[in-house]
Chains A and B, each alone.
Chain A
Amino acid sequence: QLSLFRLTMKRLRSTSHSSVDSKEMKKFQLLAHKWWDEEGEYSALHSMNDIRVPFIRDTLLNMSSNYHLGNPLSGVKILDVGCGGGLLSEPLGRLGASVTGIDPLEDNIRTADRHKSFDPVLAKRIQYKSSSLEEIVEECMETFDVIVASEVVEHVADLEMFIKCCSQVLKPEGSLFITTINKTQLSYVLGIVVAEKILGIVPEGTHEWEKFVPPKELEHLLESNGFSVKTVNGMLYNPLSGSWSWMESTSINYAMHAVKSGAVGQPSPTGALSEMESEQPSATAGTTM
């Protein structure tokens, strides 16, 4: 009964270079069914929507002058990399965007498909695909206005290649949003010891401190691959209230917004009219997929 929405790609997975780490995949396999329990293992990700969705929404609205408050992201094509169960894809879809969610784990895609299927509006606006980023590059060159990679880069095997692929599928002057965890003593204590082992906010073993990415390193990788970093904001989770807030310091969690340069070899002008403004408002999802 679910096969209606299943879009399985029969492409052979490249063995030599991949941003997907198979060890990481195994960790998430066990929890594929728990995505939508708002009070379960993924509750912190659910409440992260309260700051990451407004961040994405307001950044995009500030760059555009042609939008309707009732449907603010209408006409925007978004790629949600590492979408998991669709926790971030759904709110973006509700705001009017055409969302493509990809995740290497089939069980996650299955959960995501099933969850969106009950809402006809979302079912049309969101398309899920079990795939890695590399696998869609060829057919999705310069397709998306926006890429969101939230809580993903700390799990990828080859970060530079990941960023290169993002650049390839992103339109010129398109936006890339990343949220991830810094690599500091504080993030070890709070992000691993406290979050995983003591308070159980994050399922144990989810994160490896070695793979955390300091913002400077991420900025450097982005800038040397054709991106211009616009915003870096620290994020803080309060385990008592179960809610996230912004903070100055990026020593634990942080969010970054970068824009792909417009012309070849030139950084995009700051605050200039975005190419999104000239987009046709009626976009249908996944037509080229």
Chain B
Amino acid sequence: TSAVMAGVCGRGLLAPLGGRLRAGPRAPLRSVAAAAPLYDVVVSGGGMVGSAMAAVLGHDIHFHDKKIALLEAGPRKEYDRMPDTYSNRVSSISPGSATLLSSFGAWDHVCSLRLKPFRRMQVWDACSEAMIVFEKDDLDDMGYIVENDVIMSALTKQLDAVADRVEVFYGSRAVGYTWPLPSHSCDTSPWVQIELADGRRLQTKLLIGADGHNSVVRKEAEIKNIEHRYDQSAVVATLYLSEATDNNVAWQRFLPTGPIALLPLSDTASSLVWSTSHEHASELLAMDEESFVDSINSAFWSNANHTDFIDTAGAMFRSAISLLKPSGTAVRQLPPSVAKVDPESRATFPLGMGHATEYVQHRVALIGDAAHRVHPLAGQGVNLGFGDIACLAHHLTAAAFNGSDLGSLKHLLKFETERQRHNVSLIAVIDVLKRLYSTRLAPLVLLRTWGLQATNALPPVKVRI
């Protein structure tokens, strides 16, 4: 893994600016292209991360006189009130992400639509009794489960509020990018040229790629991507509980086939994210609703995967811990039972991991899934993207206030270093956890059992997580 991690960063220690100038094919532009409108920043990709990036810059006081554009292939998404049924695509929003969203007024809109805070998270193994419980001492919210549509609607509202600075192009897909020659050559246009599907052209001083894990920006910039398709798909659905409950706990159980998670949406409904093999995912989608609900309940409640050996070893370890740290063990609670599934809500999508070796190049920056793609088991995906936004916006606002060229590698590299340092270890850990929990082999089960029990008992480690 360490070799992979070294390759994943792909950056030498010395001469950071050298070797960033693209070697690939490019066409210097004639002055005809000078007619294309020039933007200070163009964000390609209007999903949650791309839209939030454009909104953050649009609300930034140092960008008051700048021109920003957001390119989104899909249509505009805005709701005044949400439909009665829940959407099956939800995200777990961390408090840090909530802070970012409230910094430009979007969180208020989220709260006025709908969201579900949760206070506790219980994570446990199917092959043993080991479990870990996360909760904040001061009974604060640990995080929020929010439908992606709600976030998009809030972002659209806040983009509207700065429409004089941020121009949103809906139904627009970029089909080609032309990169400028190195900065010291003065004969051709120094800006990035963008060609849209309808033939329109734009120029920009900085292109931010937020176009997802199959990023076209990343591919056209010839940035190498380390990627791996997991042999898993995620099944999502909206579920109705057997009885109403406070429902402020997020549940996740690691089955040998993959983790199953129940995320609270309301007192009576929860969202399912079940990562499992492709075959099992197809079965789950095909089976009738009753069997589907039975599978879910059984996955959370059944102890079929326990073995006596592991149970005994786990129990021994637990007694040892309780001698040293009496409060270090907790009682395992059972998640609420599921009664019904929303008929239209079952869906599946394949899972993979990916990490771009570089997040930036001259006049280009990648954020969100374009830069890194993770397994949903840690609920981190969109939060990593929001973290990218906070960091990049911090560096861009300083650059703007210094009168710097926004596309200059100098501050873009600072963003890259900060985020890679933060992301790489987290991405590697998530990948390792995924592999560690994908097996029934006794030694590994024991390892993760003891590891989980120890982690649960040790406050310093838990707080870091």
Per-position contact with B for A89-116: 1 when CB-CB < 8 Å, else 0?
Answer: 0111111100000000000000100110
A:17-48 near B, CB below 8 Å:
33-40, 47
B183-A111 in contact (CB<8A): no
B contact residues around A68 at 8 Å (CB)? 64
Known contacts being A38-B183, A50-B402, A53-B402, is A118 close to B64, with CB within 8 Å? no
A70-B38 in contact (CB<8A): no
B contact residues around A70 at 8 Å (CB)? 61-65
A72-B17 in contact (CB<8A): no
B contact residues around A94 at 8 Å (CB)? 400, 403-404
Alpha-carbon gap, A33 to B184, bound state (A): 8
How many residues does chain B have at the interface if contact means C-beta atoms less than 8 Å apart?
26
A:164-212 near B, CB below 8 Å:
none
B31-A49 in contact (CB<8A): no
Alpha-carbon gap, A11 to B31, bound state (A): 33
Alpha-carbon gap, A120 to B191, bound state (A): 12
B408-A38 in contact (CB<8A): yes
Known contacts being A50-B402, A111-B186, A119-B38, is A38 close to B64, with CB within 8 Å? no
A:37-86 near B, CB below 8 Å:
37-40, 47, 49-50, 53-54, 57, 68-72
A contact residues around B38 at 8 Å (CB)? 119-120
Alpha-carbon gap, A91 to B410, bound state (A): 15
B contact residues around A118 at 8 Å (CB)? 34, 189-191
Alpha-carbon gap, A38 to B64, bound state (A): 27
Report which of A1, A37, A95 forms a contact with B184, defined as CB distance below 8 A. Answer: A37
Known contacts being A39-B18, A70-B65, A118-B189, is A92 close to B403, with CB within 8 Å? yes
B contact residues around A95 at 8 Å (CB)? 401, 403
B contact residues around A57 at 8 Å (CB)? 401-403
A71-B65 in contact (CB<8A): yes
B191: nearest residue on chain A (CB-CB)? A118
Most buried by B among A1, A35, A68, A119: A119
B63: nearest residue on chain A (CB-CB)? A70
Known contacts being A39-B17, A39-B18, is A69 close to B184, with CB within 8 Å? no
A70: nearest residue on chain B (CB-CB)? B64
Question: In angstroms, how far is the closest chain A Cβ from the Cβ of B49?
Answer: 25
B402-A54 in contact (CB<8A): yes
B contact residues around A72 at 8 Å (CB)? 401
Alpha-carbon gap, A98 to B65, bound state (A): 15
A39: nearest residue on chain B (CB-CB)? B17
A96: nearest residue on chain B (CB-CB)? B65
Report which of A1, A39, A91, A111 forms a contact with B403, defined as CB distance below 8 A. Answer: A91
A93-B64 in contact (CB<8A): no
Question: In angstroms, how far is the closest chain B Cβ from the Cβ of A220?
Answer: 32
A69-B62 in contact (CB<8A): yes
Alpha-carbon gap, A115 to B403, bound state (A): 15
Alpha-carbon gap, A92 to B404, bound state (A): 9
Known contacts being A1-B31, A119-B38, is A49 close to B402, with CB within 8 Å? yes
Question: In angstroms, how far is the closest chain A Cβ from the Cβ of B404?
Answer: 6
B191-A69 in contact (CB<8A): no
Question: In angstroms, how far is the closest chain A Cβ from the Cβ of B228?
Answer: 35
Report which of B61, B186, B189 forms a contact with A69, defined as CB distance below 8 A. Answer: B61
Known contacts being A49-B404, A69-B401, A119-B38, is A36 close to B186, with CB within 8 Å? yes
Report which of B31, B61, B183, B410 forms a contact with A37, defined as CB distance below 8 A. Answer: B183
B:7-56 near A, CB below 8 Å:
17-18, 31, 34, 38
Alpha-carbon gap, A114 to B64, bound state (A): 27
Question: Mind listing 22 A-B residue pairs with CB under 8 Å?
Answer: A36-B184, A36-B186, A37-B184, A38-B17, A38-B410, A49-B404, A53-B403, A57-B403, A69-B61, A69-B401, A70-B61, A70-B63, A71-B65, A90-B403, A91-B403, A92-B403, A94-B403, A95-B403, A96-B65, A114-B186, A118-B189, A120-B38
- Chain B residues within CB distance 8 Å of chain A: 17-18, 31, 34, 38, 61-65, 182-184, 186, 189-191, 400-405, 408-410
Known: A36-B184, A38-B410. 17 other contacts (CB 8 A): A34-B184, A36-B183, A36-B186, A37-B182, A37-B183, A37-B184, A38-B184, A40-B184, A49-B402, A50-B402, A68-B64, A69-B64, A70-B64, A71-B65, A95-B401, A114-B186, A115-B186
The 7 closest A-B pairs by CB, nearest first: A70-B64, A91-B403, A37-B184, A94-B403, A95-B403, A36-B184, A69-B61
